[in-house]
Amino acid sequence: MGATTQTRTRMVTSAALLLREHGVAGTSIARVLQHSRGPRGSVQFHFPGGKAELLTEALVWAGGLVTAVLSEAGARGATPAEVVNEICEHYKHQLAGSDFRADPGLGATVAGVIDGWTTGLAAVLTAAGHSEAEATDLADLCIAAIEGAITLCRVQRSTRPLEIVQQRLVPLL
């Protein structure tokens, strides 16, 4: 991987981390450059679409991490309960570690990421014996409940809503 690619990768990763902790408004180009140790001219070179392009790339990258975990879980034959538990545990640590800050306001990109998660979790559910329709419904339920709980966790500054979703969803799977 060359220095140019490493700079771009560092910028995308930094933008994703900053988005998670500071939201869109708190993720400025200057902050990304400082966090990633990138040279000023690198933004225009790597992201001619500016901040919007950089944040879109960061969101796709971060969403891809979860999608990859779902694919890996399916490949290793993880049970749906194991997958949902892993997701909940990950987000509980992430929420507590970021002091419950975030802002996922990137519209269509978020929808694409969520679709990838739904597809991945539905595949795990189907492999565990659920019909395709039931697997898709359960995947939607899990993702909606987890995402809703994450929002409640931030508002309440507690992982309790996520713990409740985890306790109630896992037996359904």
Summarize pLDDT for 58-114 with one digit per residue, the tens. 999 998 988 888 899 989 999 999 998 988 888 888 888 877 765 555 667 878 888
Which is more confidently placed, 108 or 158? Answer: 158
CATH of the domain at 115: 1.10.357.10
pTM of the model: 0.63
| pLDDT attached to residue 4 | 65
Distance CA 163, CA 149 (A): 9
Q: Are 141 and 80 in contact (CB under 8 A)?
A: no
Q: Which residues span the domain enclosing 149?
A: 3-172
Burial class (CB in 10 A: 0-12, 13-18, 19+), 58: buried
Percent of the chain with pLDDT over 70: 94
Distance CA 14, CA 125 (A): 33
| pLDDT attached to residue 100 | 74
| pLDDT attached to residue 2 | 61
146: part of which helix (H) or strand (E)?
helix 132-156
Distance CA 11, CA 8 (A): 5
Query: Look-up: residue for tokens 């949902």?
Result: 84
| pLDDT attached to residue 109 | 80
Domain count, the chain: 1
Distance CA 142, CA 157 (A): 21
Q: How far is the CA of 139 from the CAs of 40, 63, 104, 110, 153, in angstroms?
A: 42, 16, 20, 16, 21
